[in-house]
Every structure is written in structure tokens, then in C-alpha cells.
Amino acid sequence: MIDGESLTRATAWIAFVLYASASITQLMARGETALERRARWLWSFGLSVYLLHVASAFQFYHHWSHFAAYVATARQTTESSGLNWGGGIYFNYFFSAAWLGEVAWSWLACENYRRRPAVVGRTIHAFFAFMWFNAAVVFAKGGMRWFGLSVFILLALVWWQLQRRRIRAAASEPSQRTSS
């Protein structure tokens, strides 16, 4: 039988891996419907596991008390940064709502979601990356911190390689038009 601590930790890391997998798949999709569909499913499963993590944390650590969650967040923030502040819990609430909104939007208005301004997607992904980086690297301990950092390095490398490919493709496009 799995205990509350193991369930809470496992769901956090599984949600993180699903977030990273969905992000990489979204980066690679760029108009490929099958990859976009796969990314949407990964995004949705990631949210589901993340919400299970939140429920587990509130059940087994905070006893469904916002105040207890605030105090625990303040303690963890103090340990990591020296700043005695529990307000990070509100960032977690906003993150939960934003991810839920992302998933709902992607399923209920797929074409609208796909055509949203790039700045909206980038802003959301930057916020998500910030939150996950804090969870998986800043607040993580031991080997899990290194695992989280490795995942972020992988994400950065995939993004960088895809950007380089797009820049090269854009640079070679005008020369192909003039030579035909």
C-alpha cells in the first residue's frame, strides 16, 4: 500500500515529466495535427496527475487547511531562500487555475486555442516553466534536484535546436524562391 508522502511526491514528479513531455511535443508539433493531439493528451494527463498531487498534499500534509499550506510554503521558502514568506501558495493556486484553463481551452475551442497569439502561449509557458523550475530544482532536494535540472536542460536543448532549424529554414526560403 502506498503511503500519503509517497503518493504526494510521486504524483508531483509524474506530473512534472508529463508537463515536460507535453511541452516538447508542443514545440515539435507546429501544425502537425497528430503531434498536437498527443501534446493535448499529455497536457491533460499532466494536469490530472498534478491535481491528484494537490489533493494528496492537502489531504496528507495540510489536512485541507489553507493556513497550514501557507505556513508550510513559508517554511520551505525560508529553507530555500531565507525569505520567510508563504505567499507562494497563491502562485500555486494561480498555476492550478491556469493549467486547468489551458486544458479546457485546448479541448473546448481547439481552433481558437491553436490560433491564439504567440505571446499568450509564450507567457503561459514561461509562467509554467518558472513554477516547475522552482518545484523541481529550487525546492527539490538531493538527486531529484539534479533530475529536475536535467529535464530543464533537455527542454532548453530541444527548444534551441528547433529555433535553429526554423531560423535556417527561414534564411534558406528566400534563396530558394530566387533560384527557381
pLDDT (tens digit per residue) in 7-53: 999 999 999 999 999 999 998 887 788 999 999 999 999 999 999 99
Largest CA distance in the chain: 69
Residues of the chain above pLDDT 70, percent: 96
**Count of domains forming the chain:** 1
3-state secondary structure 23-55: HHHHHHHCCCHHHHHHHHHHHHHHHHHHHHHHH
DSSP H helices in 63-141: 66-81, 88-108, 110-114, 118-133
Q: What is the pLDDT of residue 179?
A: 52
Q: Is the pLDDT of residue 178 over 70?
A: no
| Domain residue limits at 156 | 4-179
Q: What cell was used for 28?
A: 515539435
Q: CA 106 to CA 167: how far, in whole Å?
A: 27
Q: Is the pLDDT of residue 100 over 90?
A: yes
Q: How many CB atoms lie within 10 A of CB 101?
A: 11
Q: What cell was used for 118?
A: 504567440
- Contact predicate 67/28, CB 8 Å: no
Residue indicated by cell numbers 501534446: 39
Q: Is the pLDDT of residue 150 over 80?
A: yes
